[in-house]
Copies of this chain bind each other. A is one copy, B any other.
Amino acid sequence: MAHAPCFASDNYAGVHPTVMAALAAANVGPAPAYGADALTRAACARFKEVLGENAEPFFVFLGTAANVLALQAMTRPHHAVLAASSAHINVDECGAPERILGCKLMCVDTAGGKLTPGDLRPFLSHLGNEHHNQPRVVSIAQATELGTVYGIDEIQALADFAHENGLLLHMDGARLGNAAAALGCDLRDLTSSAGVDALSFGGTKNGLMFGEAVVFFRPDLARDFPFIRKQGMQLCSKMRFIAAQFLALLDGGLWRANAAQANAMARLLADKVAGIPGLRLTQPVETNAVFASLAPRAIARLQERFAFYVWDHERHVVRWMTSFATTEAEVEAFAAAVRQEVAAAEAGAEA
């Protein structure tokens, strides 16, 4: 282990070796640019097998763009997107949604990052009133930014609510693999079968070098997307190199193996630290993130040796995130350090 264990984010990880091999294998001679190549065709076909025949996939470079451009295909600027306050689109995209869509985000504070139909109903009260943005899309993250997971029935309930009220359902699936691995279900169970209209399917956080997919489950949403993608500065010229990565991820269940490893390491970490006096897990550990509150001095000492983020400075909550590349040995080393530093901080506090 040449490098210190890292619990900062799953995008600190490198590229899975199988994916790297696929990139090398794709580098043979010239190929048509902008997606008119054989690998891109194959990857699109593969997506249809995995997610359903009605899936219309489009590759883009990164997750923020997948979210924003998917939402652009679903909205006009006088619309509103309903989301949890903790949503990536609300807090981590430097306002790209407002800037590119022109829309307002209408956000709800939630405990665990998950929306319910009950959270959304109040936003319908101004339908038809020209003074107010008109709700048009419900956007949920699966898994959420807090590591929690929607059950299939919960997604279906949101889809039903949306469709009954003339809205659409978008899923930010930057960590969809982690959710499916956690629930032990197929990707389509959480998306097309559950009523999702548009999906941002994450690759980078599950072992790719770069690349995400926007997948529409309604042809009307897909119709203008080639133009939206190009104008949105997300049309990759050497697209075969995104396609090859996704083929590697979808073939042989690599996506699930990677996600399961990440989840298992978070579970292991949670188990190791769960009983430590002075440390409290603040969210259920359902995928690859552990949220914990601990003494500020313990946080500071740990950050000297390990990379991770403080999630809530006021409440001393940290986020520890695992990836496909996280190992048991890393988790154990880290958990031991946590135990030691929290104990030291507790002792200091009593002294």
Contact = CB atoms under 8 A, between A and B. Distances in A.
A336 interface: no
A interface, by DSSP: helix, strand, loop or mixed?
loop
Interface string A64-94: 1100110000001110100000000001111
Interface stretch (A46-54, A232-240, A268-276): A232-240
Interface stretch (A124-132, A145-153, A292-300): A124-132
Interface string A85-118: 0000001111110111011110000000000000
B130 A229 contact: yes
B30 A20 contact: no
A65 to B, nearest CB: 4
A231 B32 contact: no
A347 interface: no
Given A12-B32, A33-B11, A98-B98, A236 B62 contact: yes
A134 interface: yes
Interface stretch (A220-228, A249-257, A258-266, A277-285): A220-228
A11 B36 CA distance: 12
Given A14-B27, A33-B12, A307-B32, A94 B2 contact: no
A209 interface: yes
B64 A235 contact: yes
B14 A210 contact: no
A64 B94 contact: no
> Copy number in this complex?
4
Nearest to A35: B130
B95 A133 contact: yes
* Size range of the chain A interface in the assembly: 35 or more
Contact of A228 (B28, B78, B105): B78
A80 B91 CA distance: 12
B23 A209 contact: yes
A8 B30 CA distance: 10
B31 A14 contact: yes
A150 B93 CA distance: 34
A158 interface: no
Nearest to A100: B233
A13 interface: yes
A99 B14 CA distance: 34
A80 B95 contact: yes
Nearest to A98: B98
A15 B27 contact: yes
Given A3-B29, A11-B33, A96-B231, 12 more contacts: A6-B29, A9-B33, A12-B32, A20-B24, A62-B234, A77-B95, A80-B95, A91-B131, A96-B233, A99-B103, A130-B226, A131-B230
12 contacts: A2-B29, A8-B30, A8-B32, A8-B33, A12-B31, A14-B238, A64-B235, A93-B233, A98-B104, A210-B210, A210-B237, A233-B234
